[in-house]
């Protein structure tokens, strides 16, 4: 950890607002990009980011540099805050139940050959719950069981969201897939 970051960390432990602001601004672009993977609405993005950073500031004294780097620790906390916002928003929405048996091609990531612009366009075309499930599964590497627990969903509902997202990817972005798992 750099000396500047170490000074900011010590200031944040003392609840120094200037240190907190500098730490927030330093990590803001990456954390905004992380939250943007979960939400389209800027209000939701900022809610998740700000909730996460409040959690960071409230527990900063627990950070242990021997267990990992500060950026990764902050990233995890903000990601968990984004999951909490998704969970809250999900409770406000009508949930979809899985009808029938779904099969997933979990070993194949349909985004592997897509440009970042295409991925962001695709993510913005998904509903909030489907987007969160897709992001956690394909971009964060969570298992279906972990996603179900994190988002307080049934595993079948998670599978439904993954199936919906893959169908939408196939229907809307088929021509942009270079080496598509769907092109046969």
Domains and CATH numbers, the chain: 3-92 (1.10.1740.10), 116-176 (1.10.10.10)
CA distance linking residue 4 with residue 66, whole number of Å: 18
51 contacts 24 by C-beta, under 8 angstroms:
no
160 contacts 101 by C-beta, under 8 angstroms:
no
Tokens of 41: 């609405």
List C-alpha distances in Å: 73 to 19, 49, 86.
17, 14, 20
Contacts of 3 (CB under 8 A, 6+ apart): none
CA distance linking residue 167 with residue 53, whole number of Å: 35
Question: Quick one: DSSP state of residue 61?
Answer: G
What's the chain's length in residues? 184
What string of pLDDT tens digits covers the 184 residues of the chain?
A: 688 888 999 999 999 999 999 999 999 999 999 999 998 889 999 999 999 999 999 999 999 988 889 999 999 999 999 998 888 877 655 433 333 333 444 445 666 666 777 777 888 888 888 989 988 988 888 899 999 998 988 999 999 999 888 888 777 765 554 444 443 3
């Amino acid at each position: 950890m750099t000396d500047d970051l170490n000074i900011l960390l010590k200031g944040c432990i003392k609840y120094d607002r200037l240190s907190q602001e500098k730490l927030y601004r330093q990590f803001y672009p990456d954390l905004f990009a992380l939250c943007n993977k979960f939400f389209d609405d800027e209000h939701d993005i900022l809610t998740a980011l700000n909730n996460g950073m409040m959690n960071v500031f409230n527990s900063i004294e627990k950070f242990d540099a021997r267990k990992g780097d500060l950026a990764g620790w902050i990233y995890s906390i903000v990601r968990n805050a984004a999951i909490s916002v998704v969970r809250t928003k999900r409770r406000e929405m009508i949930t979809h139940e899985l009808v029938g048996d779904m099969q997933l091609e979990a070993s194949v990531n349909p985004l592997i050959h897509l440009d970042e612009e295409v991925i962001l366009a695709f993510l913005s075309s998904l509903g909030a719950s489907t987007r969160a499930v897709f992001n956690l599964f394909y971009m964060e590497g969570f298992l279906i069981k972990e996603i179900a627990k994190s988002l307080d969903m049934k595993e079948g509902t998670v599978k439904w969201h993954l199936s919906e997202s893959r169908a939408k990817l196939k229907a809307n972005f088929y021509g942009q897939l270079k080496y598509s798992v769907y092109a046969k």
